[in-house]
Amino acid sequence: MQHAALALAASTAEVPGNPELPVLPHTGELIVGIIFFVILYAIVAKKVVPRLEKMFAERRAAIEGNVEKAERAQAEAQAALEQYRAQLADARGEANAIREEARQQGAAIVAEMRQQAQAEAERITTNARAQIEAERQQTMVQLRQEVGRLATDLASRIVGESLHDEVRRRGTVDRFLADLEQTPTVTSR
């Protein structure tokens, strides 16, 4: 308000230096306007804008760096996943192989056992057969004596005491037995 009053006072007294029309510039103000704008421009162009642009560039780099880092981490995670998957597949394959091997081993063991059992059975059969053979031989020998005596007894009863001669008896019996023996061996073979 005071300024307004001042201005009013000034307007009545003619002011030298101030143009009558407000659209005409005051020289002093024009000079100040130019000089101080140059100062501001110099400071902004030399200091403020370079600082801000540098920071912008750093920020862009930081953001790009972060993106890169994230991408790398993702790639690493992907690689790890692939590795785990491969390991899992390996383990699964190994387990399969082990199972297969076990099955094969089991089959082999069963086969072996079966073979052993068969062999045992065969051995037992052979033994039994041998024993039977031996017993048969023994029986045969006994029979030979028995049959010989019985036959001799029978013959001596029929023919008489004369045939009791030792030598003749043995020869006859032997011959008879040899004949007898030949027949069953042929049939047994």
Q: Which residues bind other proteins (CB under 8 A)?
A: 1, 3-4, 6-8, 10-11, 15-18, 21-34, 36-37, 39-41, 43-45, 47-49, 51-55, 58-59, 62
CA–CA gap between residue 101 and residue 13 (Å, rounded): 122
Output DSSP code: residue 23.
T
Identify which of residues 19 and 171 has a Cβ nearer to other proteins in the complex.
19
DSSP string for residues in 116-173: HHHHHHHHHHHHHHHHHHHHHHHHHHHHHHHHHHHHHHHHHHHH-GGGG-HHHHHHHH
Identify which of residues 55 and 70 has a Cβ nearer to other proteins in the complex.
55
Give the shortest CB-21-to-other proteins separation in angstroms: 8
Give the shortest CB-64-to-other proteins separation in angstroms: 12
Identify which of residues 40 and 97 has a Cβ nearer to other proteins in the complex.
40
CA–CA gap between residue 61 and residue 44 (Å, rounded): 24
Give the shortest CB-68-to-other proteins separation in angstroms: 16
Identify which of residues 15 and 134 has a Cβ nearer to other proteins in the complex.
15
Q: How far is CA 155 from CA 17, 167, 169, 181, 185, in A?
A: 190, 15, 10, 21, 27
Give the shortest CB-97-to-other proteins separation in angstroms: 56
Give the shortest CB-19-to-other proteins separation in angstroms: 9
Identify which of residues 49 and 81 has a Cβ nearer to other proteins in the complex.
49
